Amino acid sequence: MGDDFTIDLHVHSEASFDGKEPIELILEQASDIGLDAVVITDHDEIEASKKACEKASEYGLVGITGVEVSTKNGHLLAIGVDERPEKKQSYSETIKEIRESGGVAVVPHPFQRSRHGVRKRKIGDPDAIEIYNSWLITGYRNKIARKYAEKREIPGVAASDAHSLSTIGRAYTEISFEEENVTERDVVRELRDGEHAIHGRRAPIHKSIGHLVKAGIRKTLYFSRRVLRGF
């Protein structure tokens, strides 16, 4: 593992109501495209993320748990927690619980009310803000999020918010470490400090097409094996 640690902090599995991918395929895809870690952040569900964390090393990845929590004021990513924070609490109470659990609180897709993003007047002082979410049309909301984070010196991160294999890693965060054997705790610490996190970027179109083809083949083979095991 080099000095630059790449991580997609926001990915949904089939455990999310709007996800469809098994964790094994997510891990395999993340490894194939060169990420060092991928965080499963299902909606108010953490069990799939915990299983993925346990299996991560089999794919050459660092295991990191996460969950996208529904608060009264919008969604929050809880990264590096062992249990799901209580849902439907206030935004501030949820941040407090995440921190007390040793995790880091990240605001996903801020200001986007159609996606349950936290309103500007409620954001306050989270540990980090998603300043690049790959689900964009014009990129306008990402620009607003970046300006907001920079003005208040809140660490900015990037993530794909993937719901399918082909979009994993479309946006990601890079963190620089001096140590070689990076752990979940190291990642949580650096995300909170914000000194080494930089915004992600979309993959070049030719790479996106290649990953889309590979993802389709991989998924077909995966479910074919499941069918055969059923006989």
* Per-residue pLDDT at 101 exceeds 80: yes
DSSP annotation of 43: B
For residue 34, count other CB atoms closer than 10 A to its CB: 9
Specify the residue for token string 């620009």: 143
Q: Considering the domain 4-229 in this protein, what is its CATH number? A: 3.20.20.140
Q: What amino acid is encoded at 204 in this protein?
A: P
Tell me the pLDDT tens digit for each residue of 42-58.
Answer: 999 999 999 999 999 99
Tell me the pLDDT tens digit for each residue of 43-100.
Answer: 999 999 999 999 999 999 999 999 999 999 889 999 999 999 999 999 999 999 999 9
Domain range summary for the chain, segments of one domain joined by +: 4-229
**Listed residue (68, 115, 108, 59) closest to 87, CA to CA:** 68
* Per-residue pLDDT at 112 exceeds 50: yes
Q: Which percentage of the chain shows pLDDT scores above 90?
A: 55
> pTM above the 0.75 mark?
yes
